[in-house]
A = this chain, B = another copy of it.
Amino acid sequence: MQWKTSLTKIENEKTFIHGQPLEDLVKEKTFVEVVWFLFKASWPTPAESKLLNTMFGSVIDHGVGTASAMTARTTASTGVSVQTAVAAGILALGNKHGGAIEGAANLFKGIPDGADIAAFVKDTKTSKKRLPGFGHRVLAHDTRVNILFVVAKEAGHYGKYCIFAEKIAEELAKQSSKPIPLNIDGAMAAVLLEIGIEPEIANGFFLIGRVPGLIAQIAEELKQNNGLRRLEESEIVYE
């Protein structure tokens, strides 16, 4: 089986990323710049670095009550390694929780230029399809979206996908009785398309931002020394 790569090369005990010695990179660049370089093989402008910083920071943690945090903490309470507990937390990032970016990116990528967004949204509502990247269980309006789009504009990456996303949100507001805002997943999807990231790995950028949050949740769980988590009998309803 052949393993072809143009990403990272180990030669004479040195690591090269896209041909650059990793040890030079880490001396001169921030982590987020190296992340950009890893995916783009070019260096970001300061505004583009700011864009990644904003994106990753926006999703770093959303509290103990999320499915992924609960999963990471419950798993950690059974005595496994932090890697294992993080992996379990990541597995809980399905399309209903943090994992909708791929779907939203495919949605935006599939809209032809000049499409009639009002009609598109109407069709969607008629066929009762859910639009990935829109709606939020808790938030009626997600201010993280505005912040991300402002920074995307500054970096020159507010383009047609962001416009699609905002137009869909506008139409949803017009055509719906309850709020179905553009959420952070949808906004990330649009921005990731603008900077040339493929939908199939778009959820990965959520992971880069969220993994520190999962680890911090695990750290708190272990520090509290709660012992093995299990439901109390009062929390179970036998039917």
- Enumerate chain A interface residues (CB-CB to B < 8 A): 1-10, 13-15, 17, 22-23, 25-27, 29-32, 34-35, 38-39, 52-54, 56-58, 60-68, 70-71, 73-75, 77-88, 90-99, 102, 137-141, 143-144, 147, 198, 200-205, 207-209, 211-213, 215-220, 222-224, 227-233, 235-239
Contacts and interface: CB of A to CB of B under 8 A. Distances in A.
Contacts of A3: 64-65, 70, 73, 231, 235-237
Contacts of A212: 35, 38-39, 204, 208
Given A29-B57, A65-B232, 13 more contacts: A3-B236, A8-B62, A10-B138, A15-B63, A63-B236, A67-B230, A78-B97, A82-B201, A86-B90, A96-B227, A96-B228, A204-B212, A204-B218
Contacts of A219: 39, 198, 200-201, 204
A65 B230 contact: yes
A149 B222 CA distance: 28
Nearest to A39: B216
A60 B93 contact: no
A73 B63 CA distance: 19
A220 B236 CA distance: 14
Given A32-B32, A82-B200, A198-B222, A239 B94 contact: no
